[in-house]
Structure 1
Amino acid sequence: MSSTFWLLLAGGLIIGGLGLYAWQLWRQVWRREAHNREQLQARNHRLQEDLRILAGSLLDEQLPLIEGCIRIKVLLDNYQGKQRSSLPDGIFSLIYDATAHIPTHQAWKDLPREQRLAFEQLMMQLEETHRTAIEQAARELLEKLR
């Protein structure tokens, strides 16, 4: 047998080996993409359920309006599920933006009483002004997430 035959055979084996390796890499990519899709679907399902619970709690007055708006807005920012573009988020964003400067947790506790009262007054004013729009958006959210 000539050296050309052996070179062609070696080249064919190398090409075949590289093709097999490339196929295995693509299988890994496809599996990873499928896994990522499954994780995204599970995440969106959890967010959808959380949004339903929050909207329902908001309407049942089990959750303060301002806190509910903030929580819903944050979840909507992370939700990529069904009908995302048609879900109401304007009023939730408005309340979120209007209260973004208010300290939370320990920083709230550390505020002087006068400042806390001023922030509470602002929150009450926002609730009074936007209550109807918030409740309507929460109902619409519940309806569209069914």
Structure 2
Amino acid sequence: MFESTLQSVLFIVGVVIILALVAVAGFLHWQLHLRKKRDALLLAEQEAKISKNREDAINSLRIIGKSYMAEQVELGEASIRVSNLMDYLSLTESQRAPYRVFDEVNAKIKHIPILQAWKDLPAKEKRAHLKAIYRAENEYKDFARDAAKSLASFEIVEATFYSA
């Protein structure tokens, strides 16, 4: 009788342990489900934000192109902005090629201080930097008009690969 009672107790303890393990496994499975759902939502939000930021950068490029054409912005400033936006968009060399003039002007003037550093420069240094900016702008202005015209309707053309 003692043996049968012990077996019954052990059986009940075993069943309770198994039920507890099933409950823990179910709880962990539910937590995993919630985490996957949350991660998918976060990923979708991040992708939407990245997509919006890319579209904003593309629109900014168009605005800069139009502003340069309307002589509302100088070539130097346009070049800095265009180069930085194209870097942000991670454009390939072939996508960037029609706008190379902006990269070249930017390369010639990127050493020049901006914002507060510009304000802190002595007048003589500012004049020297302004001369460098004007030289670069005059050297590239004819090429920049064509590039800005194209930039005003900028679209990213993705490479497509066809399979047979």
TM more than 0.5: yes
Partners of 2:152 and 2:119 lie apart in 1 by 34
For residues 24-77 of structure 1, the C-alpha deviation after alignment (integer angstroms, 9 at most, x for no partner) is 111111010001011111111221211111111112211111111111112222
Greater shift, 118-127 or 13-22, is seen at 118-127
Aligned to 2:19: 9
Greater shift, 34-43 or 102-111, is seen at 102-111
Aligned to 2:87: 77
Partners of 2:138 and 2:104 lie apart in 1 by 14
Indicate whether 1:134 and 2:134 are aligned: no
CA RMSD of aligned residues (A): 2.2
Q: Runs of 5+ in structure 2 lacking a partner?
A: 1-7, 157-164
What number of residue pairs does the alignment pair up? 143
Kindly indicate whether the alpha-carbon contact (under 8 Å) linking 1:87 and 1:141 is maintained by their aligned counterparts in 2.
no
* Alignment counterpart, residue 91 of structure 1, candidates 101, 107, 117: 101
Partners of 1:69 and 1:121 lie apart in 2 by 16
Aligned to 2:118: 108
Partners of 2:154 and 2:43 lie apart in 1 by 28
Amino acid at match of 1:25: R
Q: Runs of 5+ in structure 1 lacking a partner?
A: none
Greater gyration radius = 2
Kindly indicate whether the alpha-carbon contact (under 8 Å) linking 2:62 and 2:154 is maintained by their aligned counterparts in 1.
no
Greater shift, 61-70 or 107-116, is seen at 107-116
